[in-house]
Structure 1
Amino acid sequence: MKRRYKLATLLLALTNVMLLEGQGCSKMEFSADNKAILQNSPNISVSVKILSAPKALDNQTEAVFDFIGEVSDGSAVSKYICIFDGKSNDDCKPGEVYKSLAQGDHHFEVVAESVVAKSDSARYDWKVDSIAPKVTILTSPKSVTNLTSGSFTFAANDANGSGVDVILCKLESQPFLPCSDLKRDFTGIADGKKAFMIQATDKAGNKADVNYEWLVDTVAPTVAISEMPSNPSNAKDVKLVFSGKDDSSGVAKYLCKFDAATSFSDCSTPQMYNSVSQSQHDFEVKAVDFAGNSSAPAKANWMSDLTVPTVKITKAPSSYDKSPSGAFEFVATDNESGVLKIQCSLNTPNNYKDCSSPYTFANLSDGPHSFYVKAIDKAGNESSPAIHQWTIDTISPVVAFVSTPKNPTTEKSASFTYTIDETGSGLDKFSCKLDSADFDCLVQGSVLILNLSLGDHILTVSASDKAGNIGSASYSWKVEDPAPKCYQDIYNQPDFEITKKIDILFVTDTSSSLDEEKTAIAAGIDSFVAQLPVDVDFQIAVTLAHGSKSAHTGKLYKSTKGDGFVLGNKTLSLATIRQQLSYKLSGQPGDDTDGGEMGMYSLSQLLKDSNYSLAQSQGFFRPDAATAIVFIADENDICAIYPVGVTPVVDTNNSEPVVKARDCPGLSHGTVYTQLKNRRANLPVLVSGIVYTNPATVPRSGENEVGYGYIDLIKLSGDSAVDLASSDYAKGLSTIGGLVNKKLNLLTSFKLKYDNIDPASIVVKVDGKVVKHTYVMLTNEVQIGSNDAGTAKSVVVLDYCQKAPIMVSSAN
């Protein structure tokens, strides 16, 4: 293609030459290499002009040249020939671009040609400098400083370049200012981050910017100690924890000084000091920031106290003490940091609580006890506990006489034996005293006294234990002349009713052989009531004469026909009482083991605590009511003591001996009467019965018997019984009602003021008339019948003598 192009060009050129020659123009010659050599025609000229070019000193590595050629005859320029740095390009065009120019000098030429002529070359020379100058800071402030002034020196050069033209500098946002002297000083710089800028521009316009940043921090940091030994302290190895704060340059390090050190030295947190001495200690720490500012020192001061305090008990109970209350006194000392507190623990070594002297205690139990006290000083050192152990014994020794002389006695010598029971702190000593004179007991456990005078005497044996408790026992007796002593007791019958209330208890045999009689008794209750005062408040109850195997024993009984446990005239009519009493007395449940003949046993059980309380809750045994007990039986009580000469009748199935062995030991008419009297205290008590009283009138010998046991109990009370053999039960009930009436108004029981009585010596007179009486040895009482008790204000005189002393040889 290139060859064809060149050939065509050549042909065109030849054609033009020929034409020009015909017109008188210059000739075309050819060189040896067939290139046409244009020879200017004398009449046609060509010129070329560079329109744009790089600056004579340029910092660009790319050059663009624009140029234009003109032919004098107005024809067109056929081509341009460009020469760049000596290299020719015969086919260039306006806007020729040269890239990646090297640093240094360059030249450019351009020639314009027409077909017949060419121009002279147009030449342009320039220099390329695209490298910025170099700026070097020679001196400057530290990157972090606490100085508010600063000085910069610097250098700028443009080696092999166009040379530095302008140097400017500025601080932060201030405008650039000339810095041709290559230095700049500043004063009064505020705290904070700072920036200094240097700008160097060479002659080619290349710029070099250099920045230097630094921090101005004139504010000192702060430091605080967060952990230090207590003051005072008992720690041998101590730790101090601290921290600094600096909001600007930050904490760079810590400096510490301890005790005798004269200067601060580098340290870190936590700071440890081991095996410190017992003395006052001083610690200081400072924080230093990166600008070199130092904080004010934080200080810690403490006293190291490595010595434990001491505590001593100065007052305490004795080793054996009889008081459950008392106090301890103690004193604690500490010559270093001083005593902070004292702690005490009672009876356990690990339950200490703060306390002070005196430490009091109260209501401790008998037995061994221990007290612990310790002192704690202000440094936390703790003493060994002071300990006191003791035994509390509040119980006195128990002295009890085993044998004593009779009282009274005619013996002028007296022999005693006694025991001393001491289970607490132990027996310490014992002593004896006769009347008002102390004497040596000599031998523990027995005393023999001789040559006693007539009259009253008292022996006191005392024993003391190791705790100081004293126990004693005294026995009083009288040495009398052998002649008996006689006495007279006088009573006046009251002129008023003793009570307007009476509780009447029927204790009934439940054998079917009595059904007819019990029905008649219920029907005749009106005769009983008719003898009572008009305004009396009476109640009737029934208990069954059963033994220990029966569920009814010792309980108030009611039938299944709607009657209550207690029938009273304040809530029921007499007709209703009569009807409901017939329910209670008829069709009663039997007792297969004893035949319903255990009246004294059942009454005794009723008078015992639980059954008695139950009966009271049911409305019976009112605390302000008289009491009447009426036995109903056609045989003796199984627990009865038969009179001498009377042979007991044994039941056909031989069950009574078994029941008697089971339920009767310790039970008699005397014990039951004592129970009754103790329960009813000073209130009137009547005991009567509807029983067989005369062996001659018992209708069926062998099955029916005299009411032994019941009769004995009735006699003890001084009352009388109604013979069951009589068929007129209304009359009998009327008699009992009359007795009750008198019991409500007159005294029939009299307690003798002296004991050891000769029953044969007793004489009872009512209004000067001798009356029958019964002496109850168990209670030392004299009973008289209601009919013999006189009337209101009657005088009852009891004359009696004690038994004559029995002479016993003093040698015995």
Structure 2
Amino acid sequence: MKHTPAPAHALPAEQPTALAAALSTALATLLALSAITLSGCGKKIDQEPLHLDAGPTNRPPALTDNCGSGQLTYWDFVQPQPTESGSVDLLFVVDTSASLDNKRSRLATTIPDFVKGLSPGTDYRMGVMLAHGGASAYSGSLYSAPGVPRVLNSKLHSPSQVQAYLTKDLKSPPSDIDEANGEMGLYSLSRSFEAGSVAGLKAQGFYRDDAALSVVFISDENDICYRPELHGYTKFPDFVPSAQNSEVTAYKRYCLNSDGSEAITPASVYARAQAMKPNQKLSLASIVHVDPARVPQGSGLEESIGHGILELVEQSGILGIGHVLMDVMDTSYRAGLEKLGNIVSTQLKLNTSFSLDTSPDNSNEGLTIRPETVSIQVDGVAVNRQYDPASKSVKIALPDAGKAGSLVRVAACKE
């Protein structure tokens, strides 16, 4: 990548140019697409420099107004095309409450079938994490049924073995041992991102540094760390009081700081997940109650809208990662999982960090720029950026990264 000194003037900006079968196919698509990555640093594009318009506080005014004659320089990058890679960790975070037994058994007989349709050579790992509270040894760790490996590995296990193992894992997981009731997916996942837990999972062959991470939550009610009644949801189907107020007990025990503030929230869990995958190799999905009209109601039932999980998964959409919401009452999850695969394959591997350090041909060796003048455009549209002088790199948000083939131009004033 080499920079190009720009003339003192600049031209106007360019214009921006049956359930088992369905679920099997959808999950195959998810992991196959998850294995697609985008790579490469881009290439120099010969065209006139772009005029950088004024914008938000972290985007400086037009460089032509600031640099002075001959002091404007710029770098061009091209978002790469898809290439085969093949590295994805797929984690199921599973509600183990008795209310989900029938649905989980149904899922257990269909989810494993996805391996039949995987592309040859795809390097996938699968794991199951129970949505248990802090009193359970399973919280924040991988669970496997007796005789089943903790991590299902496409390089070690045949497709038929993976199917059989995952069926055992999902059909009859152990119940939680206290008021958490196996309904604390946010808490369990958050614990898995703690340093000690990450080290343990990596030692088991999961949470690989070079692998994309896809997390799928399965539940039929709200997460305990998200109390709907504290967020304005006070009636069915958004809120259903728990027997003997057990969920409130677990919430106070596991979800709060010592001063009573919330420690586990959708935002905090998402921040930890994003820190695990700083290069945006992350996707989230949920199989929970979404449609209020389809939530069953009756004596002894505590099923409700999947608040907490929904807010976490939607957080990834707000911040540009992309998200997929599926209703647990659906007879097919194909469309949702195909969408998740598309997100993984097209968005998550776009370059969002661009180095302005010395290029291979040393054309900018010794170049010093004024950090406050760094600006960036994607396909001719100015976007927000963060510049790190220490690493000489500029970062943008994934929603601003364009698409495969997009031109990314970084410009700055020389000192």
TM range (shorter): 0.5 to 0.7
Q: Whole-Å Cα distance in 2 between the matches of residues 488 and 698 of structure 1?
A: 50
**Any conservation in 2 of the 1:532–1:738 contact (CA below 8 Å)?**
no
User: Which residue of 268, 288, 291 corresponds with 1:691?
Assistant: 288
- Tell me what 1:275 maps to: none
- Cα distance change of structure 1 residues 694 and 707 upon mapping to structure 2, 3 Å threshold: same
Residue number in structure 2 paired with 1:713: 312
Paired residue type of 1:576: Q
Report matched runs for 1:128-139 at 5 Å. Answer: none
TM-superposed CA distance for 1:613, in Å, is 1.0
Q: Is the 8 A contact 2:112 2:166 kept in 1?
A: no
1:598 corresponds in structure 2 to: 184
Tell me what 1:722 maps to.
326
How big is the shift at 1:496? 3.8
* 1:627-642 matched pairs, under 5 angstroms: 627-640=213-226, 642=228
> Residues 682 and 656 from structure 1, CA distance in 2 versus in 1: closer, same or farther, beyond 3 angstroms?
same
- Aligned residue type for 1:695: P
Contact 1:521 1:729 in 2 (8 A): no
CA change 1:552–1:590 in 2 (3 A) is same
Structure 2 counterpart of 1:268: none
Q: Residues 790 and 553 (structure 1 numbering): CA distance in 2 closer, same or farther, change over 3 Å? A: same
Per-residue deviation, 1:767: 6.3
Corresponding position of 1:662: 253
**Secondary structure, aligned partner of 2:245:** coil
Per the TM alignment, residue 791 of structure 1 is displaced from its structure 2 partner at its CA by 4.6
1:557 to 143, 153, 157: 143
2:59 alignment partner in structure 1: 487
* Contact 1:504–1:628, Cα closer than 8 Å, also in 2: yes
Give 1:699 shift: 3.1
What amino acid is the match of 1:711? L
Partners of 1:511 and 1:713 lie apart in 2 by 20
SS in structure 2 opposite 1:487? coil
**1:42-441 mapped onto 2 (5 Å cutoff):** none
8 Å CA contact retained: 2:145, 2:169? yes
The separation in 2 between residues aligned to 1:678 and 1:486, in whole angstroms, is: 22
Q: 2:172 aligns with which of 564, 571, 587?
A: 587
Report how many residues are paired: 290
What CA deviation, in whole Å up to 9, does each residue of 1:129-163 have, x standing for no partner? xxxxxxxxxxxxxxxxxxxxxxxxxxxxxxxxxxx
Q: Is the 8 A contact 2:112 2:167 kept in 1?
A: no
Counterpart of 2:32 in structure 1 is none
Structure-2 separation of matches of 1:677 and 1:617: 21
SS in 1 for 2:186: helix
Residues 1:736 and 2:323 are matched in the alignment: no
Establish whether residue 544 from structure 1 lines up as the match of residue 149 from structure 2. Answer: no
Sort the Cα spacing of 1:530 and 1:671 in 2 relative to 1 into closer, same or farther, 3 A.
farther
Q: Which residues in structure 2 correspond to 1:789-808 (within 5 Å)?
A: 791-794=403-406
Q: Distance in 2 between matches of 1:744 and 1:511?
A: 33
- Is the Cα contact below 8 Å between 1:625 and 1:683 reproduced in 2? no
Deviation at 1:680, TM superposition (A): 2.5
Counterpart in the other structure of 2:23: none
Contact 1:553 1:605 in 2 (8 A): yes
Paired position in structure 2 for 1:183: none
Aligned to 1:328: none
- State the partner residue of 2:89: 503
SS at match of 2:345: helix
Residue of structure 2 in register with 1:515 after alignment:
101
- Contact 1:508/1:545 (8 A) holds in 2: yes
Per-residue displacement from partner, 1:610-654 (whole Å, max 9, x unpaired)?
111111111111121111111111111111253843114220221
Change (3 A) 1:789 1:634: farther
Give the aligned partner of residue 156 of structure 2.
571
Distance in structure 1 (CA, Å) of the matches to 2:336 and 2:106: 11
**Bigger radius of gyration:** 1
Unpaired segments ≥5 residues, structure 2:
1-54, 62-75, 257-262, 355-376, 382-394, 410-415
2:277 aligned residue: 680
Structure 2 equivalent of residue 457 of structure 1:
none
1:768 offset after TM fit, Å?
8.3
C-alpha contact (below 8 Å) 1:539/1:568 kept by paired residues: yes
User: For each residue in 1:708-744, what CA deviation from the matched residue of structure 2 results, as whole angstroms up to 9, or x when unmatched?
Assistant: 1111111222232222121214554444344433356
Of Structure 1 and Structure 2, the greater strand share is in 1
Partner residue of 2:111?
Answer: 525
* SS of residue paired to 2:59: strand
Task: Find the aligned partners of 1:590 and 1:703 in 2 and give their Cα distance.
Answer: 16
SS of the equivalent of 1:699 reads coil
Instruction: State the alpha-carbon separation in 1 of the partners of residues 305 and 77 from structure 2.
Output: 35
Question: Counterparts of 1:14-25 in structure 2 under 5 Å?
Answer: none
Matched residues in 2 for 1:500 and 1:741: separation? 11
Q: 1:641 to 1:512 in 2, by over 3 A?
A: closer
Q: CA RMSD in A?
A: 3.7
Asked which structure has the greater RCO (Cα within 8 Å, sep 6+), the reply is: 2
Q: 1:317: which partner in 2? A: none
Indicate conservation of the 8 Å contact 2:112/2:164, yes or no: no
Q: How many angstroms does 1:566 deviate by?
A: 0.4
Distance 1:796 1:522 in 2: 44
Q: Which residue of 623, 626, 630 maps to 2:209?
A: 623
CA separation in 2, counterparts of 1:500 and 1:744? Answer: 14
Work out whether residues 241 and 302 of structure 2, in 8 Å CA contact, stay in contact via their aligned partners in 1. no
**Residues 766, 696 of structure 1: alpha-carbon distance in 2 compared, 3 angstrom cutoff:** farther
Which letter does structure 2 place at the counterpart of 1:716? Answer: Q
Q: TM-score, with normalisation over the residues of structure 2?
A: 0.61
Structure 1's unaligned 5+ residue stretches are 1-482, 752-764, 770-779, 798-812
Cα displacement (A) at 1:501: 0.4
1:700 aligns with 2:285: no
Structure 1 residues 320-346: Cα deviation after superposition (integer angstroms, max 9, x where no partner): xxxxxxxxxxxxxxxxxxxxxxxxxxx
Q: Distance in 2 between matches of 1:796 and 1:691?
A: 38
Identity of aligned residues (%): 36
Q: Distance in 1 between matches of 2:207 and 2:191?
A: 14
Residue type at the aligned position of 1:658: T
Deviation digits for residues 783-808 of structure 1, max 9, x if unmatched?
A: 65xxx9875223589xxxxxxxxxxx
Deviation at 1:495, TM superposition (A): 2.0
How far apart in 1 are the matches of 2:77 and 2:98?
A: 46
Residues 66-99 of structure 1 show CA distances to partners (whole Å, capped at 9, x for unaligned) of xxxxxxxxxxxxxxxxxxxxxxxxxxxxxxxxxx
Matched, 1:652 2:239: no
SS of residue matched to 2:306:
coil
Q: Is the Cα contact below 8 Å between 1:539 and 1:567 reproduced in 2?
A: yes
Q: Which residue of 2 aligns with 1:55?
A: none
Shift of 1:514: 1.9
| Displacement of 1:693 | 1.9
8 Å CA contact 1:558, 1:565 repeated in 2: yes
Post-superposition offset of 1:674: 1.4
Letter in 1 for 2:154: N
Q: Residue 693 of structure 1 contacts residue 722 of structure 1 at CA under 8 Å; is this kept in 2? A: yes
Query: For 1:386-420, what per-residue CA distance to the aligned partner results, in whole angstroms no more than 9, with x for missing partners?
Result: xxxxxxxxxxxxxxxxxxxxxxxxxxxxxxxxxxx
CA distance in 2 between partners of 1:694 and 1:728 (Å): 15
CA distance in 1 between partners of 2:295 and 2:396 (Å): 32
Summarize the Cα distance change of 1:588–1:534 in structure 2 as closer, same or farther, 3 Å threshold: same
Do the aligned partners of 2:79 and 2:403 also contact (CA within 8 Å) in 1?
yes
